[in-house]
Amino acid sequence: METTDLLKKVRKIEIKTRGLSRNIFAGEYHSAFKGRGMAFSEVREYQFGDDIRNIDWNVTARYNHPYIKVFEEERELTVMLLIDVSGSREFGTFEKLKKNVITELSAVLSFSAIQNNDKIGVIFFSDKIEKFIPPKKGKSHILRIIRELIDFQPEDRGTDITEAIRYLTNAIKKRCTAFVISDFMDENAELEMALSIANNKHDVVALKIFDERETELPSIGMIKLKDAETGHYVWVDSSSRRTRNMYSDWWRKHTARLDVMFKKCGVDYVAIDTNEDYVKSLMTLFRKRALK
């Protein structure tokens, strides 16, 4: 992409997403994530009204009297974006491709983080780790991330979310809030274990991006479909009710498997349709977390 065109696109994304994060998301982001960065400070005797989830059972057993852990909010969080740059992100049938929604979402989260004095870093992944941008603060850092979001060209087109999750667990030592932004088409059997391990160490949030056309096949006769990640083509008779039903059934089961997996791993999760306003989906997620 020409430098001038890239800068224009960066500026356009910056204006839109910075405004959203300042005017809409600032307070919601703070209440949903800021309170999650808690550092253990000391213990004190239990008092009526204290949250029993904070009881320190080791100290309680030692003194035969209930004690609770006292936490203090850390001054800053580290936010990591794990961004799927595989071939399937280029799919879209309405106004936006999945990759356009991923770009805007990532930019909004980046500006929300920086406005709350948090560090922000990025892991771009396909079926391997394509690029790691260490967490930092500052507007110039955010603009670098946006440039990469718009112009990044991955070496591979496959997907391995499990590898990205494991990389997060090993690379980021301090507890962070990690947003995994993907269409989650990858069905690696080891993903659930990797997510569980990562969410025990970090605070993992899953943002699933999908296009409405992916949920069912239209009845338009013989169609030639291409796998964006492998490059393979296949002819499908979409006029066949059996074929359409098989595909719809696969999509429902795929979605149900993801729901179950995220719940088992304790990972907050929201599905975002490219044809809908992602602002509403993000706000719902933030408010749900704030109530926990």
Q: What is the pLDDT of residue 35?
A: 53
Instruction: State both tokens at 104.
Output: 């805007």
Give the single-character DSSP code of 55.
B
Q: Considering the entire predicted model, what is its pTM?
A: 0.80
Is the pLDDT score of 159 beyond 60?
yes
Tens digits of residue pLDDT in 106-130? 999 999 888 888 899 999 999 999 9
CB neighbours of residue 56 within 10 Å = 18
Q: What is the pLDDT of residue 141?
A: 94
Count of domains in the chain? Answer: 2
b/e 17-41 (16+ beta carbons within 10 angstroms → b): bbebbeebbeebbbebbbebbeeee
Residue carrying structure tokens 């992602």: 278
- The DSSP annotation for 68-119 comes to EEEEEE-S--EEEEEEE-SGGGG--SSS--HHHHHHHHHHHHHHHHHHTT-E
**For residues 269 and 112, what is the distance between their CA atoms, to the nearest angstrom?**
19
Give the single-character DSSP code of 142.
H
CB neighbours of residue 287 within 10 Å = 12
Domain carrying residue 244: 3-33+74-290
Q: What is the pLDDT of residue 233?
A: 81
Tens digits of residue pLDDT in 248-282? 898 899 999 999 999 999 999 999 998 888 888 99
Tens digits of residue pLDDT in 6-41? 778 778 888 888 888 877 777 777 777 755 555 556
Assess whether 60 and 107 both reside in one domain.
no
Kindly list the distances between the CA atom of residue 56 and the CA atoms of 29, 37, 65, in Å, as whole numbers in the listed order: 29, 19, 10
- Span 58-84, mean pLDDT? 82
User: Which of 73, 92, 125 marks a domain boundary?
Assistant: 73
Assess whether 238 and 262 both reside in one domain.
yes
Is the CB of residue 140 less than 8 Å from the CB of residue 110? no
Helices 98-115 and 3-20 cross at an angle (nearest 10°) of 60
Assess whether 153 and 254 both reside in one domain.
yes
Tens digits of residue pLDDT in 81-95? 999 998 877 665 656
Q: What percent of the chain has pLDDT over 70?
A: 90
- The DSSP annotation for 128-139 comes to SEEEEEEEE-SH
pLDDT band at 187 (very low <50, low <70, confident <90, very high): confident
Assess whether 60 and 183 both reside in one domain.
no
Assess whether 167 and 44 both reside in one domain.
no
Q: Which of 10-14, 163-167, 174-178 has the lowest mean pLDDT?
A: 10-14
> Which CATH number do you get for residue 284?
3.40.50.410
Q: Which of 18-22, 131-135, 226-230 has the lowest mean pLDDT?
A: 226-230
Instruction: State both tokens at 105.
Output: 């979402």
Assess whether 182 and 98 both reside in one domain.
yes
Higher pLDDT, 41 or 236: 236
Average of per-residue pLDDT values in the chain = 85
**For residues 259 and 264, what is the distance between their CA atoms, to the nearest angstrom?**
9
Assess whether 201 and 97 both reside in one domain.
yes
Assess whether 69 and 79 both reside in one domain.
no
**For residues 280 and 102, what is the distance between their CA atoms, to the nearest angstrom?**
15
Q: Closest Cα to residue 272, out of 210, 195, 222, 219?
A: 210
Q: What is the pLDDT of residue 38?
A: 57
Is the pLDDT score of 4 beyond 90?
no
- Span 182-206, mean pLDDT? 93
Q: Closest Cα to residue 110, out of 144, 161, 76, 86?
A: 144
